[in-house]
């Protein structure tokens, strides 16, 4: 480390200049380094300043200092010529120093030229390697997921969409975190209105820290008081690339392995990337099963409570015996019984999510079996309800998007409450409130319930069901893409008559 000298040893003038600045700053961080050098060939004194923890020392020692000390380094303009580094900026604006410094740049000052400063990129990016998707797992299909580094993520998307129309706009968001955020869209497909809305919302964010794309999601949501997520988030580059081609807008945030997608709609949250990998019949059936599961998981426990509390007439006579005998020893009314069991399931789920994977699994199984059977044996809950709650929990896991799954998880509690108050009528009351809420909701200004309402026959082909690719001639209409047609159906094979 012979190159390093104590700060300001040789250049009192520079030091003065810096000390002026640093005096105004409250304190200097330990990792902020500054040192001065002398190029003997051109007789030039210069100093460099950097943050040691975010620059790559290797670059400084191999690619910067040797050149600066040995090459023809006469003025600051030479830096660009002599250094083998691409990102070298020569600026006159001193205000930039701070920002660049903390973004991994080397700040170079030449003793003779006080006006110009050179910023040399020497950032050390610690990148973890690509891994398998953990939230949106799939049996078949691509196995790569986004990681925390934004450049890497953009790279993943670029590889999938190697066209010049793929546009990237970058923003720095967060007054403290200075998070790099990229807005991506395909220029001649995406509707500019969507892009503009997203851009405006990103620019309007005034928050100190952006830790993850979820921050952006919440800060730019159309309705911030809704339990429903209004942007689809994905960790799969294939899904992100897919929606870009549909004409949607993707937001990547540095430090977050999840991309945001907008505009989206309710039904899209129940589509899994695998739906596009199976043939359309399988995929459609899977989607229908998923939607049924969601309705089932929200409504089954409230229905149980409503029917057992108010509408005994509805129960078929053969079922009455089963229900009554299973509840005979239970001291609680159905609502309490249901709440106890639902809360237990929620606790298990939370515990499972907080604990390390292996223990989490064990907790799930042990909790499910032990607590379930024990509470039935102890006469706290009926076994019929236990089955229903367990089925409902299972069904709620089916939602492919985690955030939507959570929203649905908690949706059943108001339903339960109203079922207790007014029976089936209460359930419908709650249902109407949810429907109204969903009708009010928009995603990037586009109706959230589309294609159900406003009804778009055309968009049904990729909603509850997914028709084959040769039927997907147009992009979804709620995106209002510039280019609506995906491909020219004329090139498709004509249908022939029965072979003779």
Partner 1 sequence: MQPIKVQRKIEPFIVFFVIASTQLGVGMLGFQRIVAASAGYDAWISVVIAGIATNTVMFLIYKMLKEEADLVSIHQQVFGKWLGGMFNLLFVVYFGYALLTVARSYIEVVQVWMFPDLNVFWFTLFFFILVFYVVNSGFRVISGLSFFSIVLPLYLILVFLFILPYTDFRNFLPIYDHSIKEILQATKDLTVITLGYETILVFYPFIKNGQKSEKWAHFGLLFTTFIYLYITFLTFAYFSEEQLKETIWPTLSMLKIVQFPFIERFEYISIVNWYIIIIPNVCIYLWCASRLLKRTVNIQQRKSVVGLLFILLFLIPQLETRYQVDVLNDYIQKIGFAVNYLYIPLLFVLLLIVKKVKNKR
Partner 2 sequence: MKKYILLFLCLILSGCVNKSIIDEVDIERGVGYDEASDNKIRGTILLSKYNEDGTTENVTMTVVDETSVNILSRLQRQSDSTIVYGSLKLVIFSEAIAKKDLIEISDAFVRDARLGSRMYFVISEGSAQKVLKGEYGDHGNATFISDALDHNIKHGDVPKTNLHLFVYDYTQKGRTAYLPIIKKLNQQRIDISAIGLLDRQGHLVDKVSVKDMFYLKLLVDKYSGGSQVVKLDGDRATIRSIHSKNKIKISKRNPLEMSINIKVEGIIQEYRGKKLTQKKIEQFEKKFAEEINQNTTKLIKRFQQLGIDPAGLGHNAKQQTRNFDFKKWDDEYKDLTVHVKTDVTILESGVVQ
Interacting residue ranges for partner 2, rule: CB under 8 A: 307-310, 312-313, 315, 317-318, 320-321, 323-325, 327-330, 333-334, 417, 421-423
Give me the 440-469 binding string for partner 1, x by CB under 8 A, dash otherwise: x----x---x---xxx--------------
Counting contacts by CB under 8 A, is residue 345 touching partner 1?
no
Q: From the list partner 1, partner 2, none, which binds 76 (C-beta under 5 to 8 Å, kind-based)?
A: none
Asked if residues 95 and 107 have their Cβ atoms less than 8 Å apart, the reply is: no
Determine which residue in the list 77, 359, 433, 485 makes contact with partner 1, applying CB under 8 A. Answer: 433
Q: From the list partner 2, partner 1, none, which binds 333 (C-beta under 5 to 8 Å, kind-based)?
A: partner 2
- For 146-180, letters b (16+ CB in 10 Å) and e give bbbbbebbbebbeebbeeeebeeeebebbeebebb
Determine which residue in the list 52, 436, 468, 492 makes contact with partner 1, applying CB under 8 A. Answer: 436
- From the CB of residue 378, how many other CB atoms can be counted at a distance below 10 Å? 10
Closest of 187, 168, 198, 334 to residue 263, by C-alpha = 198
Nearest approach in angstroms of CB 426 to partner 1 is 9
β-strand pairing of 232-234 with 166-173: unpaired
Q: Which is nearer to partner 1, 19 or 436 (CB)?
A: 436
Q: From the list partner 1, partner 2, none, which binds 90 (C-beta under 5 to 8 Å, kind-based)?
A: none
Q: Which is nearer to partner 2, 317 or 495 (CB)?
A: 317
Window contacting partner 1 (CB under 8 A); options: 53-61, 164-172, 198-206, 419-427: 419-427
Counting contacts by CB under 8 A, is residue 317 touching partner 1?
yes
Q: Which is nearer to partner 2, 108 or 430 (CB)?
A: 430
Nearest approach in angstroms of CB 406 to partner 2 is 22
Counting contacts by CB under 8 A, is residue 432 touching partner 1?
yes
Counting contacts by CB under 8 A, is residue 423 touching partner 1?
yes
Q: Which is nearer to partner 2, 321 or 378 (CB)?
A: 321
Q: Which is nearer to partner 2, 263 or 423 (CB)?
A: 423
Asked if residues 232 and 268 have their Cβ atoms less than 8 Å apart, the reply is: yes
Nearest approach in angstroms of CB 375 to partner 2 is 17
Q: Which is nearer to partner 2, 229 or 423 (CB)?
A: 423
Q: From the list partner 1, partner 2, none, which binds 455 (C-beta under 5 to 8 Å, kind-based)?
A: partner 1
Window contacting partner 1 (CB under 8 A); options: 70-78, 141-149, 260-268, 431-439: 431-439
Q: Tell me the β-bridge partners of 466.
A: 462
Window contacting partner 1 (CB under 8 A); options: 240-248, 257-265, 334-342, 432-440: 432-440
Window contacting partner 1 (CB under 8 A); options: 94-102, 152-160, 243-251, 314-322: 314-322
Q: From the list partner 1, partner 2, none, which binds 453 (C-beta under 5 to 8 Å, kind-based)?
A: partner 1
Determine which residue in the list 74, 355, 390, 439 makes contact with partner 1, applying CB under 8 A. Answer: 439
Window contacting partner 1 (CB under 8 A); options: 88-96, 285-293, 306-314, 401-409: 306-314
**Measured distance CA(372)–CA(377) in Å, rounded:** 9
Q: From the list partner 2, partner 1, none, which binds 440 (C-beta under 5 to 8 Å, kind-based)?
A: partner 1
Q: What is the size of the binding site for partner 1 (CB under 8 A)?
A: 27
Counting contacts by CB under 8 A, is residue 424 touching partner 1?
yes
- Which residues of this protein are in contact with partner 1, per CB under 8 A? 310-311, 313-317, 319, 422-425, 427-429, 431-433, 435-436, 439-440, 445, 449, 453-455
């Amino acid at each position: 480390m012979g190159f390093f000298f104590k700060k300001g040893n040789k250049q009192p003038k520079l030091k003065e200049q810096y000390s002026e600045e640093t005096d105004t700053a409250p304190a200097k961080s330990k990792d902020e380094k500054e040192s001065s050098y002398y190029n003997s060939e051109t007789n030039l004194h210069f100093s460099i300043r950097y943050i040691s923890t975010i620059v790559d020392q290797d670059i400084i020692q191999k690619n910067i200092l040797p050149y600066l000390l040995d090459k023809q380094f006469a003025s600051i303009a030479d830096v660009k010529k002599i250094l083998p580094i691409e990102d070298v900026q020569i600026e006159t604006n001193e205000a930039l120093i701070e920002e660049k410094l903390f973004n991994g740049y080397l700040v170079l000052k030449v003793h003779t030229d006080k006006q110009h400063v050179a910023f040399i990129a020497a950032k050390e990016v610690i990148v973890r390697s690509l891994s398998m998707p953990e939230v949106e797992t799939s049996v078949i299909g691509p196995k790569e997921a986004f990681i925390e580094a934004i450049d890497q993520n953009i790279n993943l998307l670029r590889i999938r969409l190697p066209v010049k129309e793929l546009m990237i706009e970058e923003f720095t968001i967060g007054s403290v975190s200075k998070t790099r955020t990229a807005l991506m869209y395909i220029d001649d497909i995406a509707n500019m209105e969507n892009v503009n809305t997203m851009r405006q919302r990103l620019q309007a964010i005034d928050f100190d820290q952006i830790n993850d794309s979820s921050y952006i999601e919440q800060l730019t949501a159309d309705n911030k008081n809704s339990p429903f997520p209004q942007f689809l988030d994905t960790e799969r580059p294939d899904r992100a690339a897919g929606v870009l081609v549909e004409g949607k807008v993707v937001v990547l945030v540095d430090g977050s392995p999840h991309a945001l997608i907008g505009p989206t709609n309710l039904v899209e949250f129940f589509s899994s990337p695998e739906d596009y990998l199976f043939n359309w019949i399988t995929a459609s059936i899977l989607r229908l099963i998923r939607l049924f599961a969601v309705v089932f998981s929200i409504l089954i426990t409230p229905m149980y409570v409503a029917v057992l509390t108010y509408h005994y007439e509805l129960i078929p006579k053969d079922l009455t015996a089963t229900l009554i005998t299973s509840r005979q020893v239970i001291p609680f009314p159905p609502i309490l019984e249901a709440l106890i069991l639902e809360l237990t399931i929620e606790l298990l789920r939370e515990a499972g999510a907080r604990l390390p994977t292996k223990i989490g699994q064990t907790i799930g199984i042990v909790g499910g079996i032990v607590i379930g059977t024990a509470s039935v044996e102890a006469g706290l809950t009926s076994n019929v309800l236990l089955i229903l709650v367990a089925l409902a929990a299972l069904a709620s896991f089916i939602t492919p998007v985690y955030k939507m799954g959570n929203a649905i998880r908690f949706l059943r509690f108001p339903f339960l409450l109203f079922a207790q108050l007014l029976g089936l009528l209460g359930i419908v009351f709650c249902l109407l409130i949810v429907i109204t809420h969903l009708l009010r909701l928009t995603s990037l200004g586009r109706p959230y319930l589309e294609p159900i309402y406003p009804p778009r026959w055309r968009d049904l082909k990729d909603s509850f069901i997914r028709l084959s690719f040769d039927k997907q001639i147009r992009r979804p209409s709620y995106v209002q893409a510039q280019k609506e047609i995906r491909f020219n159906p004329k090139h498709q094979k004509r249908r022939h008559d029965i072979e003779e």
